[in-house]
Amino acid sequence: MFFMVLSSALLVAGICGLGKAIADEAAFLRVRRNGVEISADVVGNDASPSPNQNAYHLNPVVRYHVNGRAYEAAVCNPGSRGHVGSGMTILVHPDHPYAPYDRYGGIGTRSRNLVLLFALTVALFVLMLATR
């Protein structure tokens, strides 16, 4: 009974995670199709907490210009941390200039992990049904 409740809870978490990963990837594909490719300067790194204790994820903060206006924002899908002072090619949708995407980032580590979580929970759920 405990295994059934646990695998069901993990399946729900996996489905939610998969939905988030699909939404993130759909937003990236929309920007790739309709966005503008811009060269930006890395001006810093945003630190966000990591699931690992005493660790942080570093997202590059870039400065760029769209339609004559200057913007500064953290990259939505960082492939790796940016080195301050270096350049980065980003994609920006003109209607949403505060959401830059790394041109070469693709699916991020978080999205990849959410897809793996979903696959693992489906496997556990199938195993639970098979042993029942």
State the average pLDDT for the chain: 82
The model's pLDDT over 34-65, given as tens digits with 9 standing for 90+, comes to 889 999 999 988 887 777 777 787 888 999 99
Task: Give residue limits of the domains in the chain.
Answer: 2-130
3-state SS of the chain is CHHHHHHHHHHHHHHHHHHHHHHHHHHHHHHHHHCEEEEEEEEEEEEEECCCCCCEEEEEEEEEEECCEEEEEECCCCCCCCCCCCEEEEEEECCEEEEEEECCCCCCHHHHHHHHHHHHHHHHHHHHHHCC
> Does residue 114 surpass a pLDDT of 80?
no
pLDDT at 108 over 70: no
pLDDT, tens only, 3-37: 778 777 877 877 887 787 788 888 888 888 888 99
Q: What tokens does 8 get? A: 């069901």
Query: Percent of the chain having pLDDT more than 70?
Result: 92
> Which of these, 18, 28, 3, 17, lies nearest to 106 by C-alpha position?
28
pTM score, two decimals? 0.67
CB 41 within 8 A of CB 87: yes
Question: What pLDDT was estimated at residue 107?
Answer: 63
Q: For position 51, what pLDDT does the model report?
A: 72
As given in the structure block, the two tokens for residue 99 are 């959401």
Take residue 10 and report the two structure tokens written for it. Answer: 């993990």
